[in-house]
Amino acid sequence: MLKINRQELTVNKPESVRCLYDKYGGMLLGYIYEIVRDRKLAEEYLVQVFCDLSKQINEMDWKDTNSWCQLQSFARNKITSLTTAEPVDITIRADKVVHNFRNRYLEQMTALQKQVFYRVYYYGRSIAAISVELNETDDVIRKTLKEAFAIMKKSGGN
C-alpha cells in the first residue's frame, strides 16, 4: 500500500497536491476513465479534481481516513456533480461495459453484483437508493456489494 506523510498534505498547497498527484494521479485517472469512458474527458476531469482539491485540501480530514479513499470519494462527488447519471443510464453502462484486461473482474460478477458495484463504486449511490432502484432489500444490496468487492479483490487487486 502506498504510504503518504500526513504533514505533507497540509503544509504547502502546490507541494501537497503534487505529492497526492504523484502517488494517486494514475489511480485516479483509471478510476475516472471507468466512469466517463473517454480518455480526453477523464484527463480534463482529473485536472479539475486536483484544482478543486487544492482549494479544500486543508479542510479535509487526512488523519482518520485512508488518503486514497478520501481522494476517491472527493473525485466521485466532483464527477457526479459534473455529469448527470440517471439510474437507467447506469444500468445500461454497467450492462454494456466492454471487458478488457483491466476490468476482467466484471466478467465474473452476476448481473446484480455488477449493477450494485457500479452504482456504489463509480457513482456513490447510497444503499437505500440502490435498493429502491433495483427493487431489493438493503441487506441484499449490502451482501451483494460485499460479494462483488470480494470478486474484484480476488481477480484484480491481489
Partner 1 sequence: MEINEYIESGVLEAYVLGSASEAEVRELLYLKGKFPQIQEALSELECDMENVAQHLAIIPPSDIWMKIEAGIKEVMDKSDADALIVRNPSKENRSHYKRPKNNLFIDVESTSSHMQIHKIWRWVFGAVFLLGKIFLACAIYFYFENRSLQKEMEQLEIKFIQQKAR
Interface residue list for partner 1 (CB under 8 A): 1-2, 13-14, 17-18, 21, 24-31, 33-34, 42-43, 46-48, 50-51, 54-55, 65-66, 68-69, 72-73, 76, 102-103, 120-121, 124-128, 130, 139, 141-146, 149, 152-153, 156-158
Question: Nearer Cβ to partner 1, position 42 or 134?
Answer: 42
C-alpha to C-alpha distances, 125 to 30, 54, 67, nearest whole angstrom:
20, 25, 21
C-alpha to C-alpha distances, 10 to 57, 61, 89, nearest whole angstrom:
7, 10, 38
Question: Nearer Cβ to partner 1, position 92 or 102?
Answer: 102
Q: Are 105 and 155 in contact (CB under 8 A)?
A: yes
Q: How far is the CB of 89 from partner 1 (least distance, A)?
A: 18
Q: How far is the CB of 104 from partner 1 (least distance, A)?
A: 10
Q: How far is the CB of 151 from partner 1 (least distance, A)?
A: 11
State how far the Cα of 127 lies from the Cα of 97, in Å rounded to an integer.
22
Radius of gyration in angstroms for the set of CA atoms belonging to the chain, rounded to a whole number: 16
